[in-house]
Amino acid sequence: MAVPVKSGSTFAVGTPVVLFDTHERDGTPYDVRPDGQRFLIERALDEHATLPMNICLNWLASMKK
């Protein structure tokens, strides 16, 4: 969320607006850089998409070659 702020002889705040649609889950699905200029946000690309899974069997034998 972001809120516009006016300062000076008086202090006033505006209406909050949503910056990102994060589909927040339990925990903290985001992090902020120390300089406050960028965000890293965890998001699902597509709820119905399937991703390939690679399984490597007997990988230790491959390491000996």
Express each pLDDT in 4-40 by its tens digit: 999 999 999 999 998 877 666 666 678 888 998 988 8
Total domain count for the chain?
1
Query: Could you tell me if residue 54 is inside a domain?
Result: no
Query: Could you tell me if residue 59 is inside a domain?
Result: no
Query: Could you tell me if residue 51 is inside a domain?
Result: no
Q: Are 43 and 23 in contact (CB under 8 A)?
A: yes
Q: Domain range spanning residue 33?
A: 1-44
Query: Could you tell me if residue 16 is inside a domain?
Result: yes
Query: Could you tell me if residue 20 is inside a domain?
Result: yes
pLDDT band for 47, please (50, 70, 90 cuts): low
Nearest Cα neighbor of 32 from 45, 44, 23, 19 is: 19
Query: Could you tell me if residue 33 is inside a domain?
Result: yes
CA distance linking residue 38 with residue 33, whole number of Å: 6
